[in-house]
C-alpha cells in the first residue's frame, strides 16, 4: 500500500482501465474485461482509473459493473474536463462548473456508486479559472459526492492555484524511463505540497515491455498510430532502452516491464503507477514489480545507462500536445 496526498491509501500499483474500452485497437469483450478487473481485486489491487471520455462513457460502466460487489474495498478515480454530448460527440474541453456537476452525477450513476473517490480534471480548460474548477470540486467534496481532488497534465502554476482552494490529492501525468520530464519541476513541487503522483503509461504504451516488434504497425483505432514515438524509425532507435531493461531484468530474474515499474516505485514513496492491460498474465506480471527491489546501486546503474540513450520521437502529436498545460 502507498499513500497519496491527503492521506488517500491505495495499492502500490493501480490498474489503468482505459485500454479496455478505447484507444488500443478493437475492443475486447466486456465480460472478459470485467473478469480482468475482478482478478486485479483478488490479487490486491485497490486503485482503479477510468474517465468519462474513455469510450466515451463505456469504461466507467465497465468499471462500475466490475467493482460493484467490492465497492467499499476499492478506490475509484474518474475524470471530467471534456465537452461530450450524450451520443458521445466531443467538442473539445469544458470545465465549466455546471459541466463538472453534471459529469459527477452521471459518473456516479455509471459507476454504481454514491461517491467518486478521486475526481480529476482531465485537462486544464484555459477558459475557466482554476479557482472556479477547484471551488466546484470543493462543493462536491462537501456534498459527499467526491472524496478527493486530482489534476491530470496540469502545469506548475495551476497546481498551486488549485491546491490553494481545494487540497489536491494526486497529479496524473506520464512518467517512465522514456518520459522523464516530470523530474525537473513536478516531483519537487509535489513533495513540497504533499501531493501524490500517479504516472499513466508507465510502460510507454506497451513499448517498454519488450513485446512490440520495432516493425509493428498500428490500426487507425489505435492511438499509437498517431504518436511520433511509434513511427518505425523511432521504435528502432528506442530499442536501446528496451535492451537496457532486459539486461537488468536478466540479472534480477524479472521482465523488462517489471524493471520499468520497479524503477518508478523506487523514485518516491508516493508514486503509484497505473499500468493498463487486457490480459490476466500481463496483470500478474505487472504486479510482480511490487516485489522487485532495486538497490541504490541498481538505480544508479540504470540512470547512468539511460542517460546515454537518446529517446527518439515526440511524446504526442501536435494536436494532443497543445492540450497539455505548461
CB 142 within 8 A of CB 231: no
Cell of 217: 504497425
54 noted as active-site residue? yes
In angstroms, rounded to a whole number, what is the distance separating the alpha carbons of residues 261 and 242? Answer: 13
Looking at 175-255, which runs of residues are DSSP E strands?
A: 196-200
Q: For residue 32, give the C-alpha cell.
A: 472478459
**Distance of alpha carbon 324 from alpha carbon 153, whole angstroms:** 6
Question: How many CB atoms neighbour CB 13 within 10 A?
Answer: 26
309 and 177 in contact (C-beta within 8 Å)?
A: no
Give the DSSP letter string of 30-92. HHHHHHHHHHHHHTT--EEE--TTTTTTHHHHHHHHHHGGGGGGSEEEEEE-EEE-TTS-EEE
- Within a 10 A sphere around the Cβ of 284, how many other Cβ atoms? 13
Which of 105, 37, 30 lies closest to 274 in space, CA to CA? 37
Query: Which of the following is catalytic: 24, 54, 120, 175?
Result: 54
Buried b (16+ CB within 10 A) or exposed e, 168-193: bbbbbbbbbbbbeebeeebbebbeee
How does strand 196-200 pair with strand 168-174? parallel
Residues annotated as catalytic are 54
Amino acid at each position: 500500500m502507498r499513500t497519496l496526498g491527503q492521506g488517500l491509501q491505495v495499492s502500490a500499483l493501480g490498474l489503468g482501465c482505459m485500454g479496455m474500452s478505447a484507444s488500443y485497437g478493437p475492443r475486447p469483450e466486456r465480460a472478459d474485461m470485467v473478469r480482468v478487473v475482478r482478478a486485479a481485486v483478488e490479487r490486491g489491487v485497490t486503485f482503479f482509473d477510468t474517465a468519462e471520455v474513455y469510450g466515451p462513457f463505456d469504461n466507467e460502466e465497465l468499471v462500475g459493473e466490475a467493482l460493484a460487489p467490492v465497492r467499499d474495498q476499492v478506490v475509484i478515480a474518474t475524470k471530467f474536463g471534456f465537452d461530450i454530448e450524450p451520443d458521445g460527440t466531443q467538442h473539445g474541453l469544458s470545465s465549466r462548473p455546471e459541466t463538472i456537476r453534471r459529469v459527477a452525477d452521471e459518473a456516479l450513476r455509471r459507476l454504481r456508486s454514491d461517491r467518486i473517490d478521486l475526481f480529476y480534471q482531465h485537462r486544464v480548460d484555459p477558459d475557466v479559472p482554476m479557482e472556479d474548477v477547484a471551488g466546484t470540486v470543493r462543493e462536491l467534496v462537501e456534498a459527499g459526492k467526491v472524496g478527493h481532488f486530482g489534476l491530470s497534465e496540469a502545469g506548475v502554476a495551476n497546481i498551486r492555484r488549485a491546491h490553494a482552494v481545494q487540497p489536491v490529492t494526486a497529479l496524473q501525468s506520464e512518467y517512465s524511463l522514456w518520459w522523464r520530464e516530470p523530474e525537473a519541476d513536478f516531483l519537487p513541487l509535489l513533495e513540497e505540497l504533499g501531493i501524490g503522483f500517479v504516472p499513466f503509461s508507465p510502460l510507454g504504451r506497451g513499448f517498454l515491455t519488450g513485446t512490440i516488434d520495432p516493425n509493428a504497425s498500428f490500426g487507425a483505432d489505435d492511438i499509437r498510430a498517431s504518436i511520433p514515438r511509434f513511427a518505425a524509425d523511432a521504435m528502432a532507435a528506442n530499442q536501446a532502452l528496451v535492451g537496457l531493461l532486459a539486461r537488468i531484468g536478466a540479472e534480477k530474474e524479472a521482465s523488462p516491464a517489471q524493471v520499468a515499474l520497479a524503477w518508478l516505485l523506487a523514485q518516491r514513496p508516493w508514486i503509484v503507477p497505473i499500468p493498463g492491460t487486457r490480459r490476466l498474465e500481463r496483470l500478474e506480471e505487472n504486479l510482480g514489480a511490487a516485489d522487485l527491489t532495486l538497490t541504490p546501486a541498481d538505480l544508479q546503474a540504470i540512470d547512468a545507462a539511460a542517460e546515454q540513450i537518446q529517446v527518439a520521437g515526440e511524446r504526442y502529436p501536435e494536436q494532443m500536445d497543445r492540450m497539455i498545460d505548461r
